[in-house]
Amino acid sequence: MKIIVTGSLGNISKPLTNLLVEKGHNVTVISSDPKKQAAIESLKATAAIGSIADADFLAKTFKSADAVYAMIPMPFKDTDPQAYLAKMAANYVEAIKQAAVPRVVAMSGWAADLIAGENAEDVFTAELKNTSITILRPASFYSNFYQSMGLIRGKGLLGKYLTLRYSGVKALLTGKTGLLMGNCGGNDRTVFVSPIDIADAIAEELVVRPGYTTIRYVGSEEMTCNEAATIIGTAVGKPWLKWVLLSDKQMLQGLKMAKLPEKLAKLLVAMQAVMHSGKPLENFHRSNPKMGKIKLVEFAKEFASVYKQE
């Protein structure tokens, strides 16, 4: 099969490309970075250098493709992220129509259908009536822990202040600094997922063609946020690590202090608030997907090796 993979050589797209090439498929990888061309070709895939913001480029690349994996990176600098996501989804839809692609797997998130506002999922499902579509809803990525390395380290004045505020004087005096935090946290139960397990699920979906729109949830392991914090903390020598549950207001203030655009900050708070409500977990259980093979303890070893190098 001729398969198009978007997402360049990211945490999901690189293992996905390897899987598809190993299975004998003709794989083209889209990247906006010309410097990635050699690395893509080293995987025995074809590089297509261009932007998903360019519908004509996408249509040309999609021509004669049997299947497309469509993902939209989170726009961390865009002032209106939901509008951006919907616009990129519309670009995909236009290109898929022009190229008459018969099969599409579109990346989403396990709480995407529960967030108010423009929804990229709806753009795909409303417009592509003659295409077999699967909406992929993976849970919380293991790789998101990399974004919290600074919090886990607990170093500097900010780290000590946060430790003092949320863990107390005793933690600070004993050197037990570092924490995780969010308006989903503490003893909230959630599902975490390995990018490798997501890649496996995408590879399975791309080669089938159900005659109707399907939704697939993907997860690797379910636990509380504090249980996850203990696993990550133990791997980096901080077994006392905990995941502090913030209010929505506290979380929003923190993201604004980090200078995230206001609409993006509000979207991230809304996503975590929905996760705190337990509704995504209910939907995940209702779907009853098969869990992936990579457990958090395994990822924690990889995380620790990076943590200790920096």
Picking from 63-77, 113-127, 282-296, which range would have the lowest pLDDT averaged per residue? Answer: 113-127
Q: What is the pLDDT at residue 79?
A: 78
CATH topology of domain 2-141+193-219: Rossmann fold (3.40.50)
Whether 173 has a pLDDT exceeding 90, the answer reads no
Q: What is the pLDDT at residue 119?
A: 82
Picking from 22-26, 80-84, 214-218, 244-248, which range would have the lowest pLDDT averaged per residue? Answer: 80-84
Q: What is the pLDDT at residue 192?
A: 98
* Two tokens, residue 305: 């090796």
Distance CA 133, CA 129 (A): 9
Distance CA 219, CA 201 (A): 10
Residue type, 50: G
Instruction: Please spell the DSSP secondary structure of 172-233, one letter per residue.
Output: HHTT----EEESS-TT-EEEEE-HHHHHHHHHHHHT---SS-EEEEE-SEEEEHHHHHHHHH
Quick one: which of 1, 63, 69 has its CA closest to 30? Answer: 69
Strand pairing of 221-224 and 189-193? Answer: antiparallel
The rounded percent of the chain whose pLDDT value lies above 70 is: 99
pLDDT band at 13 (very low <50, low <70, confident <90, very high): very high
So what's the architecture of 143-190+222-285+293-309 in CATH?
Alpha-Beta Complex (3.90)
Q: What value does the mean pLDDT take over residues 180-202?
A: 97
Q: What value does the mean pLDDT take over residues 19-23?
A: 98
Q: What is the pLDDT at residue 177?
A: 86
229-283 pLDDT tens trace: 999 999 999 999 999 999 999 999 988 888 888 998 999 999 999 999 999 999 9
Q: What value does the mean pLDDT take over residues 80-84?
A: 88
Task: Tally Cβ neighbours within 10 Å of residue 212.
Answer: 6
Q: What is the pLDDT at residue 163?
A: 81
Which residues is 31 bridged to in the sheet?
49
Average pLDDT, the chain: 94
How many helices (DSSP H) and strands (DSSP E) are in the chain? 14, 12
Domain spans of the chain, in order of start:
2-141+193-219, 143-190+222-285+293-309
pLDDT band at 295 (very low <50, low <70, confident <90, very high): very high
Whether 179 has a pLDDT exceeding 90, the answer reads yes
Whether 310 has a pLDDT exceeding 70, the answer reads no
pLDDT band at 161 (very low <50, low <70, confident <90, very high): confident
Collapsed DSSP state (helix, strand, coil) of residue 240: coil
User: Full-prediction pTM beyond 0.85?
Assistant: yes
User: Which residues, in sequence order, are CB contacts of 253 under 8 Å at separation 6+?
Assistant: none
Quick one: which of 187, 150, 183 has its CA closest to 253? Answer: 183
Looking at per-residue pLDDT, the higher value among 244 and 168 belongs to: 244
